[in-house]
C-alpha cells in the first residue's frame, strides 16, 4: 500500500510484554519541571543496557495536578516488577528529589493494579529520622526535609502490564529528508497519551539486530539497513534510499502502540520518504505483532 509517494512495506513490528509505572511530577514552574523531566528520562532508551525505558507521556495543566502546580506524566518501562522496584526509586531519588521544588505522585493511584513498587517507602530514609508520614484518603505520602523545604513523595507506585517495542523504520533519499520525516513522526507520537518514544528526540539512529559476531554483545548494528554497507551485506534498503531512521514506541496497551505507529507512519510519509517498514524477529521472540497494513486499517 502507499500513502502518497511513500510505500508502506508488507511487514510487521514485533513488540514485547513489559511492566510499567506512571509517575506524576510537579514543580513550582515549567523551568524546574522540565529540569526534572530531562533528568529522570536520561539514559532511559533501551532495557538492553538501561535500567528502564523512560519518557514523558504528556504535560498536565496545573488545575489537574494533585497539588495545583505545573506537572507532567512520566512512563517507566521494565522487563519485570523487580526491575522497576530498583529503577523507579533510584531515578526519583537521584533526579527528582534533587531538583528544586518538585513533588512526585503515583500516576496509577486509583487504578486496578496487581503490584506496587516502593517509592517514598525507600526514599524516606534520606530524611535521617526527620521525615514525616502524611495520609490523604487511602494514600500515604512522605515529607522529606530538604534544603528548600520538603520533598513530598508518594509511598509506593503502582505497576501495570504494558507493551514495548512497537516501531517503524523509514527509508529516505537523504539524511536531511529523513531527519524531517523522523521529527514529524516523533512530534505526532508525543501528542498522544499512553505512549512514549524513549530514544533521543524519539528517534533511533543506530537500529540493531539480535546478536553479533562478538560473543559479549547481545545486539549489533543493523547492517542490512546501513547505506554504507550495501556492498558488504544483504541489504534491505529500497532503491534510492540513503538514510534510515527508526522510531520505537512503548505503550500502556496494544491499542496505544498501534495508534502511535499509525500516527508516526502518517506523519513521516511524504516526498523523499521512499518506504516505511518495521523491525521484527520473524515473530519468534515478541508476543505482540503489529502488521503495518492492519495498523493502517487495510487488512
Indicate the class that CATH gives domain 2-15+162-295. Answer: alpha beta
- Same topology between domain 2-15+162-295 and domain 18-160: yes
Alpha-carbon distance of 110 to 106, in angstroms, equals: 9
Residue 282 pLDDT grade (very low, low, confident, very high; cuts 50, 70, 90): confident
* Mean of the per-residue pLDDT values of the chain: 96
Q: Who contacts 170 (Cβ-Cβ below 8 Å, separation ≥6)? A: 178, 181, 182, 185, 244, 245, 246, 247, 268, 273, 275, 276
Is 60 strand, coil or helix? strand
* Chain position carrying cell 486509583: 110
Per the document, the length of the chain is 299
Confidence band for 285, pLDDT divided at 50, 70 and 90 = confident
Give the pLDDT of residue 114.
87
pLDDT in tens, 233-267: 999 999 999 999 999 999 999 999 999 999 999 99
121, 196, 153: which is closest to 25 by C-alpha?
Answer: 153
User: Is 299 a residue whose pLDDT tops 90?
Assistant: no
Using the predicted structure, report yes or no on whether residue 96 has a pLDDT greater than 50: yes
Question: ∠192-195-199 over CA atoms, to 5°?
Answer: 110
The angle at the Cα of 117, spanning 286 to 79, to the nearest 5 degrees, equals: 15
| pTM for this model (two decimals) | 0.95
Residues 208 and 219 sit within 8 Å (Cβ to Cβ) = yes
Residue 298 pLDDT: 59
Could you tell me the pLDDT band of residue 28, with boundaries at 50, 70 and 90? very high
92 neighbors 153 (Cβ within 8 angstroms): yes
> What CATH number should be reported for the domain whose range is 18-160?
3.30.70.520
CB contact at 8 A, 72 and 62: no
The per-residue pLDDT for range 100-126, each reduced to its tens digit, is 999 999 999 999 998 999 999 999 999
How would you write 241-298 as a 3-class SS string?
CCEEEEEEEEECCHHHHHHHHHHHHHHHCCCCEEEEECCCCCCCCCCEEEEHHHHCCC
Q: Please report, for the chain, the start and end positions of each structural domain, with discontinuous segments joined by +.
A: 2-15+162-295, 18-160
Largest alpha-carbon pair distance within the chain? Answer: 66
Tens digit of each residue's pLDDT (9 = 90 or more) over 133-163? 999 988 999 999 999 999 999 999 999 999 9
Q: How far is CA 172 from CA 177, 196, 295, in A?
A: 6, 24, 21
Percentage of the chain exceeding pLDDT 70: 99
Mean pLDDT of 59-68: 98
Amino acid at each position: 500500500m502507499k500513502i502518497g509517494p511513500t510505500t508502506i512495506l508488507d511487514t510487521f513490528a514485533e513488540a514485547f510484554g513489559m511492566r510499567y509505572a506512571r509517575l506524576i511530577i510537579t514543580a513550582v514552574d515549567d523551568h524546574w519541571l522540565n529540569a526534572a523531566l530531562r533528568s529522570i528520562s536520561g539514559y532511559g532508551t533501551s532495557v538492553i543496557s538501561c535500567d528502564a525505558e523512560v519518557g514523558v507521556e504528556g504535560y498536565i495543566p496545573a488545575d489537574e495536578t494533585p497539588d495545583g502546580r505545573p506537572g507532567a506524566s512520566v512512563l517507566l518501562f521494565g522487563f519485570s516488577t523487580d526491575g522497576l522496584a530498583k529503577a523507579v526509586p533510584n531515578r526519583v531519588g537521584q533526579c527528582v528529589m534533587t531538583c528544586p521544588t518538585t513533588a512526585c505522585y503515583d500516576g496509577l493511584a486509583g487504578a486496578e493494579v496487581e503490584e506496587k513498587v516502593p517509592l517514598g517507602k525507600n526514599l524516606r530514609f534520606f530524611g535521617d529520622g526527620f521525615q514525616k508520614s502524611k495520609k490523604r484518603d487511602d494514600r500515604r505520602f512522605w515529607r522529606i526535609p530538604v534544603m528548600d523545604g520538603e520533598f513530598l513523595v508518594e509511598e509506593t507506585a503502582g505497576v501495570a502490564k504494558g507493551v514495548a517495542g512497537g516501531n517503524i523504520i523509514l527509508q529516505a533519499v537523504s539524511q536531511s529528508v529523513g531527519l524531517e520525516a523522523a521529527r514529524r513522526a516523533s512530534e505526532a507520537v508525543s501528542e498522544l497519551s499512553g505512549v512514549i518514544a524513549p530514544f533521543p528526540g524519539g528517534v533511533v539512529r543506530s537500529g540493531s539486530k539480535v546478536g553479533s559476531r562478538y560473543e559479549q554483545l547481545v545486539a549489533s548494528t543493523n547492517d542490512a539497513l546501513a547505506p554504507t554497507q550495501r556492498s558488504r551485506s544483504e541489504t534491505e534498503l529500497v532503491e534510492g534510499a540513503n538514510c534510515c531512521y527508526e522510531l520505537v514506541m512503548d505503550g500502556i496497551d496494544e491499542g496505544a502502540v498501534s495508534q502511535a505507529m499509525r500516527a508516526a507512519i502518517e506523519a513521516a510519509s511524504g516526498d523523499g520518504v521512499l518506504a516505511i517498514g518495521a523491525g521484527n524477529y520473524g515473530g519468534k521472540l515478541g508476543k505482540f505483532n503489529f502488521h503495518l497494513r492492519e495498523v493502517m486499517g487495510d487488512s
